[in-house]
Amino acid sequence: MFDLSIDLGGLRMATPVTTASGTFGYGTEYADLLDYTKLGAVTVKGIRRDPWPGNGMPRHCEVPGGLVNAIGLQGPGIAAFLENYIPHYKMMAEKSVARGGGGDIPPLIVNIWGGSVEEYAEVAARLSESSYAQPSAANQQPLIGAIECNVSCPNVKEGGHTFGQDPVVLARLVKAVRTATKLPLIVKLAPNVPDLRPYTAACEENGADALALINTIPAMVIDIRTRRPVLANVTGGLSGRCVHPVAVKCVYDAHRFSKLPILAMGGVYGWEDAVELMLAGASAVAVGTATFTAPDTVAKVADGITAYCEANGFAAARDLTGAVCV
Ligand SMILES: Cc1cc2nc3c(=O)[nH]c(=O)nc-3n(C[C@H](O)[C@H](O)[C@H](O)COP(=O)(O)O)c2cc1C
């Protein structure tokens, strides 16, 4: 068996492939459509402390090569997430046993956000305080495998600037979440900064275990007939095929600036895109917008990585990380 396993800052993944937050629900929605054994982890939609309604409609718009969305981080809040979804994961595992599988589901990466540093820390602590064991006794890994902090949202308590665009605030946030949890801590950075270096340093120096890149890129679409913005929120975030080269450059930079392992996302539509991000410096990759048009994309990427490695003399998938010849 080819070795696809990787270690993402303490999160052991059977394959280097996961889903991008916000594009795969809470992980239960696709359970009957996909072979989850091809996934190294499932990353869920962003959760904050309290339920959050998100933005008004319309909140997404297709553009050439991508999608502009302004969902506005709609979510059920941490208590409802734990109460409603944990039993679902257990049911998924039981179904897998009934089908003759081992009963394991990939560890969850829980994406979190908040309006203050204190809120992030509180949500991280809530996720860590109970040990949500895998339903299969043979699997020693906890069901909740890691926390991913989305720092591309406004710091409401301190003036409304985005956490991820002020290295001093980012450093404080990472330190507070680090203190609140022992779970592997992934910090998801924004691509729209002039230089990633102060941001990767803020993560590394304050106890993050891994970086995630890239979040969506700020964007806007205007309907020229009505002369009005298409999205109710006026602006949104661009994702999809068109952002892929931006992701490759961000990952390449972050890998040079920091020793932290990188989870890369941005326009992964097939294994070729995943391999490209790994060569640029990623240890793992996430499939996002592609899931909306081809839900099985994420399940196909791992096989393509294996075939590429075997054809090109790589003994393990992890050997691809940073192997670009510059
Ligand atoms: C509809 C939608 C919702 C998203 N929601 C979140 C979210 O809740 N938290 C987060 O960190 N990123 C969120 N993202 C960003 C994605 O996780 C990913 O970083 C980005 O879309 C780039 O990957 P892609 O081009 O493969 O979609 C969302 C993206 C989309 C398209």
- What percent of the chain is predicted at pLDDT more than 70? 97
Residues 127 and 144: beta-carbon distance below 8 Å: yes
CA of 21 to the centre of ligand 1 (A): 5
Q: Is residue 1 part of a domain?
A: no
Alpha-helical (H) ranges within the chain are: 78-98, 117-129, 167-180, 197-205, 244-257, 271-280, 290-293, 297-312
**Backbone φ and ψ of 165, nearest 5°:** -120, 20
Give the model's pLDDT for residue 162.
92
pLDDT category at 130 given cuts 50, 70, 90 is: low
CA of 73 to the centre of ligand 1 (A): 10
| Alpha-carbon span 193 to 325, nearest angstrom | 26
| Alpha-carbon span 185 to 260, nearest angstrom | 11
CATH classification at residue 152: 3.20.20.70
Q: Is residue 118 part of a domain?
A: yes
Q: Quick one: which of 258, 262, 286 has its CA closest to 186?
A: 262
Q: Is residue 231 part of a domain?
A: no
Mean predicted confidence (pLDDT) in 301-323: 98
| pLDDT over 60 at 74, yes or no | yes
| pLDDT over 80 at 101, yes or no | no
Give the model's pLDDT for residue 134.
65
Quote the number of domains for the chain: 1
Quick: pLDDT tens for 217-260: 999 999 999 999 999 999 999 999 999 999 999 999 999 999 99
DSSP letter at 316 equals B
| Alpha-carbon span 74 to 54, nearest angstrom | 4
| pLDDT over 80 at 102, yes or no | no
Give the model's pLDDT for residue 94.
79
Q: Is residue 92 part of a domain?
A: yes
Q: Does the beta carbon of 213 lie inside 6 Å of ligand 1?
A: no
Mean pLDDT estimate for the chain: 94
| Alpha-carbon span 32 to 88, nearest angstrom | 13
- List active site positions: 153
Q: Does the beta carbon of 244 lie inside 6 Å of ligand 1?
A: no
CA of 159 to the centre of ligand 1 (A): 24
- What percent of the chain is predicted at pLDDT more than 90? 84
Q: Is residue 144 part of a domain?
A: yes
Strand partners, 75: 52
Q: Is residue 229 part of a domain?
A: no
Q: Is residue 66 part of a domain?
A: no
Q: Does the beta carbon of 176 lie inside 6 Å of ligand 1?
A: no
| Alpha-carbon span 315 to 318, nearest angstrom | 9
Give the model's pLDDT for residue 210.
98
pLDDT category at 140 given cuts 50, 70, 90 is: low
Give the model's pLDDT for residue 142.
82
| Alpha-carbon span 61 to 70, nearest angstrom | 9
| Alpha-carbon span 79 to 312, nearest angstrom | 47
Quick: pLDDT tens for 179-215: 999 999 999 999 999 999 999 999 999 999 999 999 9
Greater confidence (39 vs 101) lies with 39
Q: Does the beta carbon of 236 lie inside 6 Å of ligand 1?
A: no
User: Which residue minimizes the CA distance to atom 6 of ligand 1?
Assistant: 22
Per the structure, the complete domain to which residue 94 belongs is given by 6-54+73-217+240-320
CA of 97 to the centre of ligand 1 (A): 31
Q: What is the helix (H) or strand (E) element at residue 91, kind and residue range? A: helix 78-98
Give the model's pLDDT for residue 99.
75
Q: Is residue 277 part of a domain?
A: yes
Residue 115: which residues within 8 A CB-CB, separation 6 or more?
A: 48, 153, 154, 155, 156, 157
User: Which residue minimizes the CA distance to atom 23 of ligand 1?
Assistant: 266
Of 21-30, 96-105, 221-230, 312-321, the range with the lowest mean pLDDT is 96-105
Tell me the chain's radius of gyration from C-alpha atoms: 19
| Alpha-carbon span 304 to 312, nearest angstrom | 12
**Backbone φ and ψ of 67, nearest 5°:** -145, 135
Give the model's pLDDT for residue 159.
84
Quick: pLDDT tens for 254-290: 999 999 999 999 999 999 999 999 999 999 999 999 9
Give the model's pLDDT for residue 133.
66
State yes or no: cis peptide before 78, omega within 30 of 0: no
Q: Does the beta carbon of 151 lie inside 6 Å of ligand 1?
A: no
